[in-house]
Structure 1
């Protein structure tokens, strides 16, 4: 970074130094300090003031002090301070602090956040001891989150240092009392000249004023419980019919064996009412071969039976776990989709831990940016471009194949309803779980902070309409901000027939239209990047009040480039048969080398906020304008050579059957994994310690649990609704 930014960063650290070293001897200096501060006639216990002052001073081992010494210290601090408090601390809070016992006070002071070791290397989470505080009768734990900011230059950029501080206070103290008391203490420190720039970001989170169980919570729990009972009951019903069908089949075989002249039509007639046709269908799907011994019946073919079987786990689990894929599918996409999703989870694991908590050793995390290839983690945006490419490719490939069968006739209304039916219900169930149930999970200093869902009651409907990338305007105000991706995918899908129809009937017009849209997207991104001087550095995409995330990153007119390339590749796969493409070794080697180098450059060459180097504006503009196209061309190369049989061992790996079940879980895993990361942080009792080894274990655990939870969501919601769709909705 430049010298100006370094000096300002040093100034902010000086502010932290003031907070962490004043006063130098708490038990000698506080008394003199408070006596000179105010002249009033309102007696206030010294507990509240001493406790707030402990923001920056290591507490002596108060647990080991004799009772009479603590009592004298306690009584000596009952001094008049109305001029300081100015009526902003509630009488109940003051009374509770005044009447607190010495033992409770001593324990509360021990549970308070204090200046730890490593402040100047990023340890700014002084959260105290959550469990110790909550064990004190009539006391509560409060977490305060605040920033120290300072303008850097005329561009209105800020250096921001975030701090978290834990307090142990009587239950009668409201979050407003905590905020006001903290502000008064900070503003009264002599020589503290950054008063206006120490900003409390949120109302303090206090356990006595935490989230209360709402009617929505009970409704959500009952509804999900009923859904679970439906799945269990249908599974039992399905299994009983399955067992009866097998018994009937065995009886028929034994009868025919013992009586060679037995009329099999009679046996079939006698047992046909025990056999369910839907069961045979399920067996056909899971094993790949029909059951010739099963026969249908009126009962087995009933609509009610089919509805019940749609929820049955014995029917749906084999479909989920099957590694078989039809020959006409693009099998290499399974591996590519799973790897891309694992990349997304990896980036979210690292970023969420740094965003929603103050790590114990933040500077260690900053040092990772200097490591070779770590930008792959810090710059994961290309993984999202890969998913846009996959979506465009599959929509085009499958739709054109269907249009070929029907001579260009598609039920376009059902085309859209089918897509909405597949995406919206799992999203809705996840949103209900996230909004109404997970706020009550977690038990730790960060739990209440991470349980806030204030935007979901306002904007949940924007997710179900897939307009959440436009409204609300700020991505930080969305309910489930990570689903901005789904809004883009749905919006791309809505306009896709405008390209697919010309591609099928008049290919030249379709390709021309596709090219114009691609050029328009690049031009729009270039103009926005140039006008607002956005940077390519991850984490520094904000220029004043104009956010790159809100103006470019989440907007379909800037993100459609990979989707359009996917449409083009899907059209090529549709028109060009697999066995018609030949490639010699030299072309293959050259293609892998060039495309691999370009793809690697996109994800690994971007500077970071901590490596001390910025790109010139023109380079930033070029990167933001064409990086998505370059990365997508690399992904398109891999998909193409694998699809046409020239991928070698790469195709063998990406097309392996092991990827198929994981790929089926992709959508549900994407929905639930950020929730699980938040729940993990909600259960931490201390600031997270950053080490690559611990982060690796954390990442592995998040992946495993995410896929398990995704399987539950898929088996309870996705698959049953897909089965019902086949029963009641015509196929597009």
Structure 2
């Protein structure tokens, strides 16, 4: 599964580097929509819920958790959208990095053009924050109707929409949040997310992603099920234990495989830094020194 995803990502990156940018964006959109269509077809054919339920399985959906996991949840063709959105985000961030620094406006007065530019930037900021908030909120809480088992025709259509697009919409929200913080309009949220506390967790995120499902299943097998609780604290403790186990093994995985692989990659693929400074010939240096002494 990882190899097929990785191959697709390499192809997309190469196309962005060497192909027509507009055509690549259109191709990514077509692939995302095709993946969403595959999700709809599988959900309708098997009566799957919009995504896997670990705590509560409404009776209106197919109760076969393993079938859902094997046929839909882990297949790359059903979840390729967020990877493509991440690649497009990286391309936009790289383009932003290449924009030259704009000259500072004078503080003595604000011309009409500058004022209109400020208003335009404000509107763009509000739009981007709205998209980021909606995407993240919809991805996290849009599952509530399915979790309640609402089964009218309209809600069935909503379940299909959520099952087909919730990963993509959530990824778009995260992408806009990253872009907002990267371009300097993140404010206190950017300060919080950029704090040094998150640096170790960020470096371990990929290994944690690869390993996280094992402690999730392990803890479910060890605790009595169903879990009865009167407050939310037992659920938080349960999830905290899963995170703790995940990151302990993510540290081991990173130290054993990921960091050595990165070091080998640097050794094999690194190029000597290019410099525009040319060394001055020794004769010129001595001539300049003698001239300065005579002066």
Q: TM-score range by the shorter chain?
A: 0.5 to 0.7
Q: In the aligned structure 2, how far is the partner of 1:544 from the partner of 1:694? A: 26
The answer on whether the counterparts of 1:503 and 1:509 sit within 8 Å (CA) in structure 2 is no
Shift of 1:513: 2.4
Cα contact 1:525–1:624 (8 A) shared by 2:
yes
TM-score (norm 1): 0.29
Whether the 8 Å CA contact 2:12–2:84 is kept in 1: the answer is no
Give the SS at the match of 2:148. coil
Alignment TM-score, normalising by the size of structure 2? 0.66
2:50 corresponding residue in structure 1: 536
Equivalent pairs counted in the alignment come to 244
Does the CA-based 8 Å contact 1:533-1:543 persist in structure 2? no
Deviations 1:130-170 (A, max 9, x none): xxxxxxxxxxxxxxxxxxxxxxxxxxxxxxxxxxxxxxxxx
Take 2:48 and 2:192, find their aligned partners in 1: how far apart are those partners? Answer: 39
Residue of structure 1 equivalent to 2:254: 714
Identify if the C-alpha distance between structure 1 residues 668 and 529 changes in structure 2 by more than 3 Å, giving closer, same or farther.
Answer: closer
- Which structure shows the higher strand fraction? 1
Quick one: distance in 2 between partners of 1:683 and 1:652?
A: 39
Give the conservation status (yes or no) of the 8 Å contact 2:89–2:175.
Answer: yes
Matched, 1:591 2:128: yes
What is the distance in 2 between the residues matched to 1:655 and 1:698? 27
Comparing 577-586 and 553-562, the one that deviates more: 577-586
**TM-superposition CA deviations, 1:667-702 (whole Å, max 9, x none):** 333455555566667777999663522343344344
> Partners of 2:169 and 2:241 in 1: how far apart?
33
Is the partner of 1:535 in helix, strand or coil?
Answer: coil
1:641 aligns with 2:180: yes
CA distance in 2, matches of 1:621, 1:609: 10
Q: From the two aligned structures, give the one with the greater helix fraction.
A: 2
Partner of 1:525: 39
Distance 1:542 1:688, change over 3 A: closer
Q: Give the CA deviation at 1:726.
A: 4.3
- Say if 2:172 is the partner of 1:658: no
C-alpha distance in structure 1 between counterparts of 2:216 and 2:167, whole Å: 28
Q: 1:41 corresponds to which residue?
A: none
Query: Aligned-residue CA RMSD in angstroms?
Result: 3.7
Residue 718 of structure 1 deviates from its aligned partner by 3.5
Q: In the alignment, is residue 667 of structure 1 matched against residue 213 of structure 2?
A: no
Any stretches of 5+ residues in structure 1 without a counterpart? 1-465, 467-486
- Identify the residue that residue 563 of structure 1 maps to in structure 2: 83
How far 1:647 moved relative to its partner? 0.9
Give the greater-gyration-radius structure (CA).
1
CA distance in 1, matches of 2:245, 2:159: 38
Identify which of 615, 618, 622 aligns with 2:157: 618
SS of the residue corresponding to residue 542 of structure 1 reads: coil
Q: Is the 8 A contact 1:569 1:636 kept in 2?
A: yes
Looking at structure 2, the residues matched to 680 and 612 of structure 1 have their Cα atoms a distance apart, in angstroms, of 26
User: Secondary structure of the equivalent of 1:707?
Assistant: helix
Whether the aligned pair in 2 keeps the contact of 1:673 and 1:706 (CA below 8 Å) is yes
